[in-house]
Amino acid sequence: MNWARAKTLLLAAFFLLDLVLGGLYINLRQAPPGRAAPGAPEPELVGRLAERNITLAAEVPRETPSLALLRVGIEKLNPYPLALTFFGTLEGVQVTRAADPLLVLAFRRGEEELRFYSSGVTVYTRHGLEKVKGEQTAAQAEEKARAFLAAHGGADGLVLTRVVPYRREGTYLVEFGQNYERYPLVGASGAVLVVTPAGVQNYWRRYLTVLGESGRPRKVVSASEALLALAFERPYAEAAPLTVREIVLGYYSQIYNADEWEAAPVWRIWTGGDTYFYVNAFTGELENLSG
């Protein structure tokens, strides 16, 4: 065998293979003519949003999976054991049952107030902290929020969503959500804490449980269609500027007068702070203008 010739042929084969693989890689990285690369918005979409005073500062998901409705229910809690985690003892705590049929129980001592609602919502408020000034980083606020959750009902099933500055320097809005498989439960679910340098000022949490899927899966509308649905709800000149910072596919729940309901898939559009828009992923219609 002519080893020198064989070696030359082998090197040539590897060179051709590198060219072929390189071409395949480039083709995979490049978008088809007239379309944006994965994650990058189409120029036409950016222009149509700009006409409505909306700036796109987020990647636009390409996925349009087939999803079913999701059966969701309230996780029933006994208010008294949870109240003990806040007050240590009920001695000196004022316990009231308000005339409001939606309010189950209210606990208050000094500047602290804890309310339990029939919708599965728990709200804690520590009055006076809104006047406290100081410095705090986002990491410190997250640490305080996690410690607060651990001490008051636990953080099982909660996933950190975001930590953002809130209203005044040193105060942060810390959000946690629940997931079903890889999709978040959005809207009235999860936990939200306002964390000041002096501690947690407000705490909102809704305990939900997933009961299973309902009905046949249907293909959802695209994220681009959801963004346009938001744009068409806004007048041209009068609309305040909006910046879309995130768009996520999830299951939407509101506050219902029911123990169980069916949550529809939605595109959640976040425009900063605590402002969200929800577009039904089946119909392409706005579920709620903000919340």
Q: With contact defined as beta carbons under 8 Å apart, do 276 and 268 qualify?
A: yes
Query: Strand 54-56 vs strand 199-206: parallel, antiparallel, or unpaired?
Result: unpaired
For the segment 57-77, the average pLDDT, to the nearest whole number, is: 94
- Quick: pLDDT tens for 45-63: 999 999 888 999 999 999 9
From the options 3.40.50.300, 1.10.3720.10, 2.40.128.690, 3.40.50.80, give the CATH code of 43-70+212-288: 2.40.128.690
Residue 29 has pLDDT above 90, yes or no: no
Contact criterion met (CB below 8 Å) for 278 and 288: yes
Tell me: pLDDT of 42 over 70.
Answer: yes
In the prediction, which pLDDT does 124 show?
98
Pairing outcome for strands 246-253 and 242-244: unpaired
Q: Using 50, 70 and 90 to split pLDDT, how confident is the model at 236?
A: low
- Per-residue model confidence (pLDDT) at position 3: 37
Residue 83 has a pLDDT of 96
Q: What is the mean pLDDT of residues 109-121?
A: 94
Mean pLDDT to the nearest integer, 148-177: 93
More confident residue, 256 or 13: 256
The CATH number corresponding to 74-211 among 2.60.40.1840, 2.20.25.570, 3.30.310.160, 3.30.420.40 equals 3.30.310.160
Distances (CA, A) of 64 to 223, 230, 249, 253: 8, 18, 9, 20
Query: Distance between terminal CA atoms of the chain?
Result: 77
Question: How high is the pLDDT of residue 129?
Answer: 85
User: Where are the domains positioned within the chain?
Assistant: 43-70+212-288, 74-211
Query: What is the model's pLDDT at position 208?
Result: 92
pLDDT score for 78 = 93
Q: What confidence score (pLDDT) does residue 273 get?
A: 77
Q: In this model, does residue 4 exceed pLDDT 80?
A: no
pLDDT one-digit tens code per residue, 203-223 = 999 999 999 999 999 999 999
Per-residue pLDDT at 99 exceeds 60? yes
3-state SS assignment for residue 56: strand
pLDDT for residue 88: 94
Task: Write out pLDDT tens, residues 183-205.
Answer: 999 998 999 999 999 999 999 99
Q: What is the DSSP string of 69-111?
A: EEEEEE----HHHHHHHHHSS-TT-EEE--S-TTEEEEEEETT
Determine the pLDDT at residue 36: 37
Mean pLDDT, residues 137-150: 97
In angstroms, what CA-CA distances link 172 with 11, 134, 135, 194? 60, 12, 11, 6
Summary mean pLDDT of the chain: 84
CB 58 within 8 A of CB 242: no
pLDDT digits (tens, 9 = 90+) for 260-269: 999 999 999 9
Question: Within the chain, where are the H helices?
Answer: 3-29, 43-51, 79-87, 138-151, 223-232
Nearest to 115 by CA among 89, 85, 83, 92: 83
Beta strands 159-166 and 112-117 are unpaired
Instruction: Give me the pLDDT at residue 40, please.
Output: 60
**Contact partners, residue 137, CB within 8 Å, separation at least 6:** none
Residues 6+ apart with CB under 8 A from 53: 234, 236, 239, 240, 241, 242
The pTM is what? 0.76
Check for a shared fold between 43-70+212-288 and 74-211: no
pLDDT at position 18 over 60: no
Could you tell me if 230 and 277 are in contact, meaning their C-beta atoms sit under 8 angstroms apart? Answer: yes
pLDDT, residue 9, reads 33
Mean pLDDT of 97-123: 91
Mean pLDDT of the region 69-89: 94
Angle value at C-alpha 282, between 230 and 268, nearest 5 degrees? 45
Report d(CA 252, CA 281) in Å as an integer. Answer: 10
Three-state DSSP class for residue 144: helix
Alpha helices in 62-217 (DSSP H): 79-87, 138-151
Residue among 288, 121, 264 at smallest CA distance from 185: 264
Q: How confident is the model at residue 238 (pLDDT cuts 50, 70, 90)?
A: low
